[in-house]
Amino acid sequence: MKLRVLGCSGGISRGLRTTSLQIDDDILIDSGSGVGDLELEEMCRLRHVFLTHSHMDHFTFLPLLIDTMFPSIDTPLVIHGLADTLQALQDHIFNWTPSRITARRPKACATIAPAVVRPMPGSSIKASTVCGKQPAIS
């Protein structure tokens, strides 16, 4: 397993990127501004995004990532997270309101799936809930 830290800051500034970790070539943990440093080919190899919670610094580049990948992928990107996190994204970001995200749907570009143990070739990710004001997984 190869872990690449794309960002681990709660804000942005020169040299700072918000939370995003890449595992191997196909998994992201969170989708903060660090995703913007990936080449298009690297983005298109992604297959799963695990969102720990719905704070903006953890998902802010997800709509841009999907929109950038959209013309180049055949298999939808699977977005994993707690039900509360996924519902917040569905209600406020991926609601097909043109001001929120490009309103085009000729093919599926992302699939939303609940966070559970996800066995994948050579690895697995287990979601564990943590206590706090914001529902989150670790």
Q: What is the pLDDT of residue 124?
A: 64
Q: What is the largest CA-CA distance in the chain?
A: 40
How many independent structural domains does the chain possess?
1
Q: What is the Cα–Cα distance from 52 to 50, expressed in whole angstroms? A: 6
**Residue in 36, 48, 42 with CA at minimum distance from that of residue 75:** 48
Q: Which residues make beta-bridge pairs with 49?
A: 28, 79
Q: What is the CATH number of the domain that holds 28?
A: 3.60.15.10
CA separation (Å) from 73 to 8, 9, 34, 37, 47?
27, 29, 21, 19, 10
Q: What is the Cα–Cα distance from 55 to 22, expressed in whole angstroms? A: 18
By residue range, what is the domain housing residue 11?
3-137
pLDDT tens track, the chain, 138 positions = 899 999 999 888 999 999 999 999 999 999 999 999 999 999 999 999 999 888 888 999 998 998 898 888 888 888 888 888 888 888 888 776 654 444 444 444 555 555 444 445 566 666 655 555 555 665
